[in-house]
Each structure stands twice: as structure tokens, then as C-alpha cells.
Amino acid sequence: RKINRESVLINSRLNGSVQEATQGIAIVKAFTLEDELARRIGIMADTAEQRNNKIARVAERLSPISEILGGLAVTAVLAYSGYRALVLGQPPGAVFSFITALILAYDPARRLARTQVGMERALVNARMIYELLDLEPKQGDAPDAVEAKVTTGEVRFNNVTFGYNADMPVLRDLSFTAAAGKVTAIVGASGAGKSTLVALLQRFYDVDQGSIEVDGQDISKVTKHSLRQSIAYVAQAPYLFEGTIRDNIRFGRLSATDNEAEARVQEALTHVMEGRTTIVIAHRLSTVVNADHIIVLEEGRLVEEGTHATLMADPHGIYARFHRIQGK
């Protein structure tokens, strides 16, 4: 059973590594990682082969043992049956009936012994699945959690500090308000904490310090299910079909031009965001020019906020510098 468990774990890691290499083939080729990945996967494949060979040896070892024991059992029964027929005078028909029943039962018993290894492997797989299902989530609802009641949708961050590691905070003492029914854009360099901010709002993680409120309700005191039902999340990485990115954007109507597609997307977003509290993670500043409020993050801190016009009024500000860089 221990060998089967090791084999399942190694095969899982091997399959995961092959899948990662296949999905990230562009990165692999761009950084010439073929040799390194081939070496790593080769080591895992060799280890998996060794474990599988060990399981096969154990399985084959059981076969001759079961055959010998079965043969000895049949011989003993035949000898005993002969003794009863010759010495005790038992009718020959009863003896032959008993021997026939024994022979018919022998083959299924032998095959059952051979299936032991396969059954052990299946039991290991089932046990690992149930171990995973029985894991208690590290982050759950509070015992007295209530359903979130979202009416206007105002979002408030109050002195929020958070880090994936305790000694490396990603957000530091962050405070701002996303007004109800307005568009709030989050701007900052990569690693500034923009995506983390949204993850905290959906309670994928809990804050280390401070609090986050939606319509005055501390989200740590409401159920995650009701909170997430009130949030429409548009992921940064959508599913892509085979073809170019342009083809995927135009899937709805293949005759659409680039300008027309962009206009349609903007029109659809404007319609969807109307009257709803919207937090936009901005990578292209052209998408946040019309935002009602812009938050600028740097190393997890709020360093600037305002509208596009007020932020551009300071030529030495971070937002204005980002805008000039992207404008080039």
C-alpha cells in the first residue's frame, strides 16, 4: 500500500509537470528551457518507472506463491478424498463431485489473488480523494456570519494591510472608498497590489490588519457565498479558442473591424457598469480616462487619487508619468 501511494503521488507530479510544460510552451521556448524541463521530467519519469516496476515485481511474486499454495491445497484434497473413498468406503460419485467443485472454485480464487495489487492501488486512490475532501479550509465563515445585504454597493478599505508572507506585506495601511454606482480605477506598476486588492474584496484571502466594508458591513462577518454573489468578477485571463487574439475578439461577428470591435466593447462595458459600483484594474491608462475616481498604488500604498484631469495637472506625479510613458 505504501508503494502504491508513492507511485500515485509521483505519477501525479509527473502528469502535472507535463501539463505545465505543454500549456506554457511559449515561455519554455522563449527562455530556452527545453533542456532543463526535459531533465526534470526525465528524473520524475525514471522515478515513476522504478515505483511501477516495484509494484509489478510484487504482483508477479504473488502469482507463483498462490499457484504453489493452490496446487498443495488441491493435492491435499485429492489425497483426502482418495482416503475417504478407499478406506472409509465413501461412494465414488460423491468424491468426484467434491473434486469437480474444488477445481471450479480454484481458478476464481487464483484470479482473486492476482487482483489484490490492483485493489490496493484503487483503495489508495480512493483514500487520497477522501483525504482531500475531508480537508478543512483554512479560511472559513465566522461562526456568527450573516448574509450580506448589498443595496448601494459602496466599498470601503479601512487601513488594510496584507501580505502573502508575514514579513512581506503587499498592501500597507491602504484606505480609500469606491463610491456607490461610480467607477473607481486602480492604477499602479506590476506588483503594486492591484490584483491583491480585488482578491481581498472577494475574500479569497483575509486581511492581516484593518477591514473592508461593503455598504457598511465588514466582509469578514458575512458569508463568503452571499458576498461573492453580489460581485461580478471579470477575470484578466479569459478562455481563448484556437486562432489569433483578434479572431477571438471578433468571434461574435467575424465581419467586425478593429475600431468597431473596440467601440462595441466600450459600449457594452458602459451599459453594464451603469448604476453599479465598478472597480477597474487598469493596465492601459486609456481605459480609465473617464473613471469617476482613480487610485494610484505604489508598493502597496496609496500615493495619489483623484480624477484623470486632477492627476494630470501634476506633471511630476506618478499617474502623469505613467500616462507619458504609455503615450510614447
DSSP string, 79-124: HHHHHHHHTS---HHHHHHHHHHHHHHHHHHHHHHHTHHHHHHHHH
On the question of pLDDT at 220 being above 60, the answer is yes
Rounded to the nearest angstrom, the gap between the alpha carbon of residue 183 and the centroid of all alpha carbons in its chain is 30
State yes or no: pLDDT of 259 exceeds 90. Answer: no
At residue 261, the pLDDT reads 56
What number is the average pLDDT over the span 56-76? 71
Q: What pLDDT is stored for residue 242 in this prediction?
A: 56
> Which band of pLDDT confidence, cut at 50, 70 and 90, is reported for residue 191?
confident
Q: Are 170 and 136 in contact (CB under 8 A)?
A: no
Residues contacting 99, CB < 8 A, separation 6+: 77, 78, 81
**Highest-confidence segment of 23-37, 48-62, 157-171, 233-247:** 157-171
- 161 pLDDT more than 80: yes
Per the structure block, which three cell numbers stand in for 297? 498604488
Question: What's the mean pLDDT in 311-316?
Answer: 87
Query: What residue has cell string 504473488?
Result: 62
Residue 211 pairs in a beta bridge with 158
The angle that helices 34-86 and 2-23 make with each other, rounded to 10 degrees, is 150
Q: Which of 69-83, 91-105, 146-160 has the highest mean pLDDT?
A: 146-160
Mean pLDDT of the chain: 79
pLDDT at position 240: 61
- Higher pLDDT pick, 258 / 308: 308
Give the domains, in start order, of the chain with CATH numbers.
2-133 (1.20.1560.10), 155-232+276-327 (3.40.50.300)
Q: How confident is the model over 192-203, as a mean pLDDT? A: 89
Dihedral (CA of 260, 261, 266, 272) sign: positive
pLDDT at 236: 61
Residue 116: per-residue pLDDT: 65
**E strand or H helix that includes residue 31:** none
Instruction: Tell me the pLDDT tens digit for each residue of 90-137.
Output: 777 777 777 777 777 777 766 766 666 667 667 777 777 777 777 777
- The predicted structure's pLDDT at residue 260: 60
Residue 175, classified by CB atoms within 10 Å of its CB into exposed (0-12), middle (13-18) or buried (19+), is exposed
Strand partners, 162: 171
DSSP label at 237?
S
Give me the pLDDT at residue 243, please: 63
Q: Check residue 171 and give its pLDDT.
A: 92
Which pLDDT score, from 0 to 100, does residue 173 have? 92
Instruction: Tell me which of 58 and 191 has the higher pLDDT.
Output: 191
Q: Smallest Cα–Cα separation from 324: which of 296, 285, 294? A: 285
**Per-residue pLDDT at 253 exceeds 60:** no
Predicted local confidence at residue 101, as pLDDT: 74
Least confident of 234-248, 262-276, 294-308: 234-248
- Please give the DSSP secondary-structure letter assigned to residue 277: -
pLDDT score, position 325: 79
Query: Which comes out higher in pLDDT, residue 16 or 111?
Result: 16
CA distance 156 to 36: 47
pTM above 0.75, yes or no: no
Number of neighbouring beta carbons within 10 Å of residue 170: 23
Of residues 279 and 128, the one with the higher pLDDT is 279
Q: Are 7 and 55 in contact (CB under 8 A)?
A: yes
